[in-house]
Structure 1
Amino acid sequence: MHPMLNIAVRAARNAGKVITRSMEQLDKVEVESKGTNDFVTSVDIAAEQTIIETIRKSYPEHTIIGEESGVLTGSDDNIQWIIDPLDGTTNFVKGIPHFAVSIAIKVKGKLDQAVVFDPIRAELFTASRGKGAQLNGMRIRVNSQKELAGTLLATGFPYKSKQHSNAYMAMFASLFQKTADMRRAGSAALDLAYVAAGRVDGFFEIGLKPWDTAAGELLVIEAGGLVTDLSGGHNHTQSGNIVASNSRLLKEILKDVRPHLGTALS
């Protein structure tokens, strides 16, 4: 295992311990609103601090970009750690056991290492650039489905960007007519990990942040898949609008998505 990935795994497991301990006493978790339909808990903050401390012990010079802490600049900006300490906060707050720790490492602007850790199921998804993707040490691959018929797609509602609700629902309806079923589980990091592991055939969502998708994106790519924006380009990190699947099925998903983009989502 790459040394930085080893530290990322350690950091994710440490954060997972913070989260699972807190899950046993949800009534004591403090919840605050940081924006419309956007919540942060004392557990998000504690888990992120645990991750930062773990990284800093081994790599004090690296830059860290955290969902709660913002940008913590180090002397070496060529290496950036992008962390979401608790992806699926709403699930966590409600006691729904589906959330994850997401940690990605960029080297000179390119995704290099990734960890998505589900502490409830003890499932560790990892990827290293050019070395493939694994689930608990076993190689994973995206599904090879070529058409939408019979597929299971994952998605997320644009709850922070409700101005795009009509466009999103049109995309959903168009795809739903052709697929076997759709899933909205509440954690983009796990949705992308599930695409990589072949548990779902594809994923699309509007209005995500880099820390939601960075680790999952590398997982999908290293599992043989593709990640694009809603028009098939490479602006998903900036726009937050994302599609992930195998290359053939991704083209089919885009055919149903593109007619509903409009100027606001192009």
Structure 2
Amino acid sequence: MKLTSIHQEAIKLVKEVGEFIRNESENFNTDKVEHKGFNDLVSYVDKEAEKRLVEGLGEILPESGFIAEEGTSNKQGEEYNWIIDPLDGTTNFVHGLPVYSISVALQQNDKIVSGIVLEINRDECFEAVKGESSKLNGKPISVSKNINLSQSLIATGFPYNDFDKMDDYLSILKYLMQNSHGLRRFGSAAVDLAYVACGRYEAYFEYNLNEWDVAAGAFIVQQAGGKVSRFNGDDDFIYGREIMSCSSDIYDELLTILQDRWKHN
């Protein structure tokens, strides 16, 4: 099966699982929430959504393996692996806040070749496949054309269980609060990246992330003309635990701000 066909079949599956999550949200019972760790929540909805994604994606591409947040499958593919977050923004979902998503990326060897982020509440499907520009519900999108950080709206995420870098982070936030249009914290890294890709945010940065949080969204940003890296400028952002993304026009300025205030070990 060609990559474009695999991508389209994956989009169809993601939308079906998104409908399951949307239906479950209407009568969700918070008593069924589990704690994987401090402030790290999981529900039966996460687990069932991941099970459906793994089963469906395995049928689309039988030789593929999986890197999935809830560990539904530990199968490793020789060439292809799906990177899956079945419900990015679980805390929002549990509390009834309308920002959460499904994030699915396909990795071929060490390169992402397909990315899908479905924001469930607004039914917005952000997607990109190798060789094509990014799209939102089938229409092409691109990163913001704003060339000034001072006029930019910036997204971030707050640490929820790793506070070792708190002072560095607060220093960055203080500067950006005083030198931009503002900061937003929606609670879904995949959505934040998707919003950079379509120009709603000029930039996004966060640390203490996993590969399933960022793989799809980062690829969509890149295919929409944006730049993605770690805070130190290197490109190991999928497995490097930190990420910044924005347009090329403000990349150098934002990178300097992060490097000046972020002390890498």
Is the shorter-chain TM-score for this pair beyond 0.5, marking a shared fold? yes
Instruction: Indicate the SS of the match to 2:147.
Output: coil
- Correspondence for 2:243: 242
Aligned-residue offset at 1:69? 1.3
The within-5 A match list for 1:151-170 is: 151-170=152-171
Write the distance in 1 (CA, Å) between the matches of 2:167 and 2:160.
12
Percent identity reads: 35
SS at match of 1:179: coil
Residue 137 to residue 147, structure 1, CA distance change in 2 (3 Å): same
2:53 to 44, 47, 51: 51
Deviates more, 1:186-195 or 1:25-34: 25-34
Q: What residue in structure 1 maps to residue 118 of structure 2? A: 117
Q: 2:11 aligns with which of 4, 9, 12?
A: 9
Read off the aligned partner of 1:237 and give its amino acid letter: I
Cross-structure match for 1:223: 224
Matches within 5 A, 1:20-31: 20-27=22-29, 30-31=32-33
Could you tell me which residue of structure 1 aligns to residue 107 of structure 2? 106
CA distance in 2, matches of 1:64, 1:10: 18
Pairwise CA RMSD of aligned residues? Answer: 1.4
Match of 1:208? 209
Q: CA deviation at 1:260?
A: 1.7
Deviations 1:8-40 (A, max 9, x none): 212211221221111011226611111121111
- Provide the secondary structure at the position in 2 that maps to 1:115: strand
User: In structure 1, how many angstroms separate the alpha carbons of the residues matched to 2:73 and 2:60?
Assistant: 18
Q: Given the two structures, how large is their TM-score scaled by the length of structure 1?
A: 0.95
Structure 1 segments (4+ residues) deviating >3 Å: none
SS of aligned partner of 1:81: strand
Cα distance, 1:198 vs. partner? 0.4
Deviations along 1:74-122, whole A, 9 cap, x unmatched? 5x42101000000000000000011000000011210100100012111
Question: Residue by residue, what CA displacement relative to the aligned partner does 1:204-238 show, whole Å, maximum 9, x if unpaired?
Answer: 00111000000001100000001000011113223
Long gaps (5+) in structure 1: none
Number of positions where the alignment pairs a residue of Structure 1 with one of Structure 2: 263
In 1, distance between residues paired with 2:216 and 2:84? Answer: 9
- Are the structure 2 counterparts of residues 25 and 174 from structure 1 closer, same or farther at C-alpha, using a change threshold of 3 Å? same
Please report the TM-score for the alignment, with normalisation by the length of structure 2.
0.95
